[in-house]
């Protein structure tokens, strides 16, 4: 029997419930991430710090509600920041941390697939691990619409093109919402219709060496030669374009067409 395709409204409701009720179980993967991503997190932070300097004194939209805390708080001051989320609980996390910052923050309960801001409102749109929860075509069209000419995007997203990562996702469904979809090649094609962009890739060999390291050291001693070896191999491999499909994460930095 053919499974009925969920409507966007049904998907949104499920996403909202999962985050409002804290249904995700990520204890196991957090240990693996602390090993696998130990060195790549440092590289990620350096790249993001450089990119995010471009938002100084700009009108900024976060698709999400509290990525601004580790990404920009105390580092760069936008002219204003608007944050949206479909989950009241997630939105409140941003509100709770919005004290004593030298820029205006506005919070909105809003669906990122249907932004209600006027055309050409923002200079920058950013988010972390958010696009893969959305209808890429709808959300990218809206993001493009609300950006000013020469506006740009910065997104950090998981990938799902490596067959081994696909299998992991299948067997560890409690770590993600039922309808999320880490990015694949066709998603990049949709983004390219609206943006000229470059990307940075993270974590292939480091996932393998990180797994070995976690079994040896447990939840400690992340700065070890296993993890360093995986990171070094990833740095080399990430320079080879046809191997990008092997990686687990990417930073997308794009300019509006």
Q: What is the pLDDT of residues 241-256, one digit of tens each?
A: 999 999 999 999 999 9
Alpha-carbon gap, residue 131 to 55, rounded angstroms: 20
Alpha-carbon gap, residue 169 to 163, rounded angstroms: 10
The pTM of the full predicted model, rounded to 2 decimals, is 0.94
Q: Report which secondary-structure segment, H or E, holds 47.
A: helix 38-52
Residue with the larger pLDDT of the pair 213 and 168: 213
Alpha-carbon gap, residue 238 to 230, rounded angstroms: 12
Q: Report which secondary-structure segment, H or E, holds 61.
A: strand 59-63
- With beta carbons less than 8 A apart as the criterion, state whether 183 and 157 touch: yes
Handedness of CA 197, 244, 15, 211 (dihedral sign): negative
**Predicted local distance difference test score (pLDDT) of residue 3:** 54
- Per CATH, the number for 8-256 is 3.40.50.150
Q: How confident is the model at residue 1 (pLDDT cuts 50, 70, 90)?
A: very low
The model's pLDDT over 43-74, given as tens digits with 9 standing for 90+, comes to 999 999 999 999 999 999 999 999 999 999 99
Residues near 217 by Cβ (< 8 Å), separated by ≥ 6? 35, 224
14: left (phi over 0), alpha (psi -120 to 50) or beta: alpha
Alpha-carbon gap, residue 235 to 206, rounded angstroms: 10
**Predicted local distance difference test score (pLDDT) of residue 164:** 85
> What token pair was written down for 146?
């609300």
Q: Where are the domains of the chain?
A: 8-256
């Amino acid at each position: 029997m053919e499974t009925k395709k969920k409507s966007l409204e049904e998907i949104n409701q499920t996403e909202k419930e999962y985050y409002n009720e804290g249904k995700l179980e990520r204890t196991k993967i957090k240990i693996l991430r602390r090993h696998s991503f130990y060195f790549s997190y440092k590289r990620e932070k350096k790249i993001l710090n450089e990119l995010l300097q471009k938002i100084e004194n700009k009108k900024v939209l976060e698709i999400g509600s509290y990525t601004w805390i580790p990404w920009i708080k105390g580092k760069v001051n936008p002219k204003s920041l608007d944050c949206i989320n479909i989950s009241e609980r997630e939105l409140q996390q941003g509100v709770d941390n919005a004290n004593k910052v030298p820029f205006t923050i506005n919070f909105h309960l809003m669906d990122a697939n249907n932004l209600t801001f006027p055309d050409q409102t923002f200079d920058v749109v950013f988010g972390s691990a958010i696009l893969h929860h959305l209808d890429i075509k709808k959300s990218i069209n809206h993001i493009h619409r609300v950006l000013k000419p020469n506006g740009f995007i910065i997104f950090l997203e998981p990938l799902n093109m490596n067959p081994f990562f696909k299998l992991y996702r299948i067997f560890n469904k409690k770590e993600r919402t039922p309808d999320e979809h880490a990015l694949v090649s066709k998603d990049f094609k949709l983004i390219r219709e609206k943006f000229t962009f470059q990307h940075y890739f993270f974590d292939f060999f480091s996932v393998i060496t990180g797994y070995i390291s976690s079994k040896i050291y447990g939840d400690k001693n992340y700065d070890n030669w296993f993890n360093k070896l995986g990171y070094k191999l990833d740095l080399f491999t990430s320079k080879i374009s046809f191997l990008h499909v092997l990686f687990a994460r990417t930073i997308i930095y794009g300019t509006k067409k």
